[in-house]
A and B are shown apart, each in its own frame.
Chain A
């Protein structure tokens, strides 16, 4: 309970500060980078629910992002539906797709690397389908019109997208906090730790896993709308990019899987490292090498992610305090 309250207080203070940040940050570039950090943390958080809490590693998380992006973009382009309604459809599309993929995969008993590969295959299949359909614009893609306004979820300045991404991030963290303190979340953790034992205890693992992937799908759908309204262009390689699938699991693993703030810390550190290396190293490609080395170091030294630093310190302090008490 105390942990939950301290987490909530921390979140409240953090988001209050972030909400006022644009008043103190005049640089639109930094706001844009922060927006990307929040966005990546958000999709990382969606992966965290299924991968970090339920223990079901997916390599095709981008499929929900892409499907959501196409759903809202098609509605905007072909039917003139405002994006603010399109995002709801995108969320539903992501969730429905997730239910289909999840049910087919989990019903077949796919776990571990088999599940990871089947999600990768689904994402690839959707990329090929999107490439072939007229309604998605095929390989030419979809171009969205620049029309700033809240109903279109487009903004004249990076500040608007900053708040859009911040709201998404806040929602994702709220979902994970709820998960950490709910029976459903505990059941997901039980599945992660030992699925057979969880099944034996009476947990309907198929249902729970499907619910977890649906949350991931819904969140991915919203992320897709965010992207398409911000960059106004979508094609299959963007919508179903393997790179994004990797990025969402990378920020979570680096930050700390199965934790509330892991994806945010991972995203913050990885984006910062990326920006720093890019700006200080002029030789093309060298920044990526340095970035890679830093990544390897983090993963090697911190198997529980960066958040393990704080947890480790916290438990040490607790242990020391306990020792003092004993003495």
Chain B
């Protein structure tokens, strides 16, 4: 690192010399990652937004993916390939689609056998399209755009749900929760971030909620980032909805929740869909605000022994057990299973194995894995609620660990 920092106390000449050295060093090709060509190694590239506004979820994703890789390696690696060990190559998309695509090029040069990423749908779209040119198997960890798997790319697979099915399920769960309480809620205000994730989800929710007897009285779009929700809170206050439905990224999710509290906006519940900020960290940091808030999201099965064990391990490492951790874990498992069944790193064989995957993921509240155009049809999001400082699954009833508190206390 010090090679590239000019001497702070140096002369201008020395600075120029060092700056020149930097450029020269880069032009010689030293900036390429040097990957040891170890025999019997399966290389998986992890592309996440390690720098930028999404650095925290990216760190969680990396952690989950590396945990999965460590577990697979410890269990004997890819057995059908003579116990080949998985090696992770780390990539940073910097939250930019063009950098995400460039990372794919770099990893392809490094001889990567599969890719995993990219948290943001926009980056995932660019990166998976770049991967498709080389037929590199691409496992989506978190990225809810349905376009990721709807574009006809035969190398892209997603274990978790996309926003189309999540919006449908979220409406159904809300209908059930509302009906169980005697249908007190009639109106909804949707507050969503402006990119494809928020806009696409909001679009699908409006008709789906209408089918459940809930009228969307206002749909409010906000920019990323938004640093002040005062006006939006006032607009919500004037609309007097029974339910507020946020669909946004972590920073905005938390800020909106705080603002609604400060402005004393009255509503029956906050029922977010893919609320980026709803997790154990949020519940720990702001227990009073979080209490009884509901979110529909990727979530682990709290009744499963493996899910509980994974949570314990994560917390023992000083990390929160956010959905990024197990979604990344699961997406690596999918790739490992593909290599296992293909018995080689041949891209066509691995893609074919992934397309016919029946992987069992017992720590998730999923049905049997069934891939249709790269999308796992067995996946589902669940409704979770902050209750007494913990997080409980409240819908669907088959996976519920507690009864929903609705309207909120």
User: Which A residues are closer than 8 A to B by beta carbons?
Assistant: 27-30, 32-33, 36, 131, 138-141, 143, 146, 156-158, 227, 230-233, 235-238, 243, 268-269, 272-273, 275-282, 284-285, 287-288, 290, 293-294, 297-298, 301, 309
Contacts and interface: CB of A to CB of B under 8 A. Distances in A.
A157 B105 CA distance: 11
A279 B1 contact: no
Contacts of A235: 122, 195-196
A232 B22 contact: no
30 contacts: A29-B106, A33-B102, A36-B98, A131-B199, A131-B221, A139-B193, A139-B196, A140-B203, A141-B122, A143-B151, A231-B98, A231-B101, A231-B129, A232-B125, A233-B125, A233-B129, A236-B194, A237-B122, A238-B97, A276-B25, A276-B26, A278-B92, A280-B3, A280-B4, A281-B1, A284-B92, A285-B51, A288-B51, A297-B15, A297-B19
Interface of B: 1, 3-6, 12, 15-16, 19, 22-23, 25-27, 29-33, 50-51, 55, 58-59, 90, 92, 96-98, 101-102, 105-106, 108-109, 122, 125-126, 129, 132-133, 147, 151, 192-196, 198-200, 203, 221, 224
Contacts of A268: 23
Nearest to B96: A243
Given A143-B125, A238-B97, A284-B59, 20 more contacts: A28-B109, A36-B102, A138-B199, A141-B195, A143-B147, A146-B151, A157-B133, A230-B98, A231-B98, A231-B126, A232-B126, A233-B126, A276-B4, A276-B31, A281-B1, A282-B90, A287-B92, A290-B1, A290-B4, A294-B5
B179 to A, nearest CB: 31
Contacts of A143: 125, 147, 151
Nearest to A139: B199
Contacts of B193: 139
Contacts of B98: 36, 227, 230-231
Contact of A277 (B4, B58, B125): B4
Contact of A29 (B3, B23, B108): B108
A284 B51 contact: yes
A297 B97 contact: no
Contacts of B224: 237
Contacts of B23: 268-269, 272
Nearest to B20: A309
A232 B19 CA distance: 36
The 3 closest A-B pairs by CB, nearest first: A139-B199, A284-B50, A272-B26
A141 B126 CA distance: 13
Contacts of B102: 29, 32-33, 36
What DSSP secondary structure best describes chain B's contact surface?
helix
Contacts of A158: 105
Contacts of A131: 194, 199, 221
A141 B31 contact: no
Contacts of A272: 22-23, 26-27, 31
B27 A294 contact: no
Which residue among B51, B126, B221 has the maximum number of chain A CB atoms within 10 Å of its CB? B51
A91 B259 CA distance: 44
Most buried by B among A238, A273, A284: A284
B195 A139 contact: yes
Looking at A32, A227, A290, A297, the one whose CB has the most chain B CB atoms below 10 A away is A32
Contacts of B12: 301
Given A131-B194, A269-B23, A272-B26, A279 B32 contact: yes
Contacts of B105: 28-29, 32, 158
A279 B102 CA distance: 13
A37 to B, nearest CB: 11
B22 A273 contact: yes
Given A139-B194, A146-B129, A298-B19, A28 B97 contact: no
Nearest to B101: A231
Contacts of A146: 129, 132, 151
A38 B216 CA distance: 48
B148 to A, nearest CB: 10
Contacts of A309: 16
Contacts of A301: 12, 15-16
Contacts of B195: 139, 141, 235-237
Nearest to B151: A143
